[in-house]
Amino acid sequence: MGAAELVNLIRKEAGTVIAGRSRGFELATVISPYPGLVIRVDNMKAELSRTDLVVCERLMSGTRIVSLKSEPGVVRDLGHTQQTAARDSNSLRRGSGTLSGSTGEAQGHSHQLNGLDMENAGIELSYAELKFEDTLKAGDRVLVQEVPGGQKYIVIDRVVEYG
């Protein structure tokens, strides 16, 4: 979803009123982090506990399966800057170590590596595990929306306010 579509969705939802209560997006503050998650929605006196909340998975710690690909020399437009893959000062230039693993033919097989040059190498990892550890913290601002029926709120994402 592009930025313009998101703005239009927010405007549409903000204008929806059911029984005098807005079903639009609202801002809230995390009072207590998981596992005893508590948030306070702006302009609401009551605090909402984890039994009142549905939290999007990306806001929780956990392991996810990803595939990564890096192609040397490819310029990526990151919006605020452009970055050339495998050419920045933080790239792995040279290294050494042990590469080990197993295949159906050779269990526990290993090779010693000396002088591995990654400057111009493309890297591809398929079905790698990536562990996310940055969860909601006290003081974080979040975007929430009331679930129709008024029994729960969805914590959609962490937000920042500029200005």
> Per residue in 110-124, pLDDT tens?
666 665 555 667 778
What is the CATH T-level fold of the domain 3-61+135-159, as seen in this structure? OB fold (Dihydrolipoamide Acetyltransferase, E2P) (2.40.50)
Distance from C-alpha of 88 to C-alpha of 96, rounded to nearest angstrom: 20
Q: Which residues lie closer than 8 Å to 48 by C-beta, 6 or more apart?
A: 28, 38, 39, 40, 41, 153
β pairing state of 62-70 and 123-132:
antiparallel
Q: Which residues lie closer than 8 Å to 26 by C-beta, 6 or more apart?
A: 41, 42, 43, 143, 144, 145, 146
Domain boundaries, the chain: 3-61+135-159, 63-99+109-132
Q: Does residue 138 or residue 79 have the better pLDDT? A: 138
Give pLDDT, residue 53: 94
> Per residue in 93-105, pLDDT tens?
445 555 555 555 5
